Amino acid sequence: MNLVKDGKILFVNHVGFQKMQKYKAKVYIRLRAAVDDSAGNAVRAACGRLSDLKMSKLRLGKLIEMDFETENDDYANKEVEKLCSKFLANGVIEDYEFKVWSLDEV
């Protein structure tokens, strides 16, 4: 259950009321090195036709940015990890890394 006090969302947990903090996360997802990146190869070939750059490798990935509110840093990291491992990345062929930071500390 969430309550609002002075325009701030408070989180009710087993300890009592706790101020919700604003967070931002960036998740980087890319194919594992052993997986052929057909789309990346097609983009590399197109870049070669449009530019004089001699690219030996180009791999595509995904960047996911999130803004959210939760009670603390540990919970924020735990939940982003859960989303990555269970939904955002395909654990068979993709690797991921992420960074979470509080906007309240900036």
Q: Tell me the CATH number at 95.
A: 3.30.1280.10
> Is residue 55 one of the residues assigned to a domain?
no
Task: State which residues form the domain around 97.
Answer: 21-35+61-102
> Is residue 16 one of the residues assigned to a domain?
no
- pLDDT of 21-74, one tens digit each? 999 999 999 999 999 999 999 999 999 999 999 999 999 999 999 999 998 999
Q: What is the pTM of this model?
A: 0.78
How deeply is 86 buried, as exposed, middle or buried, from its count of CB atoms within 10 A (0-12, 13-18, 19+)?
exposed
> Is residue 72 one of the residues assigned to a domain?
yes
Q: How many CB atoms lie within 10 A of CB 28?
A: 15
Q: How many structural domains is the chain composed of?
A: 1
> Is residue 14 one of the residues assigned to a domain?
no
> Is residue 15 one of the residues assigned to a domain?
no
- What confidence tier does 104 reach under pLDDT thresholds 50, 70, 90? confident
Check whether 3 has a pLDDT greater than 80.
no
> Is residue 1 one of the residues assigned to a domain?
no
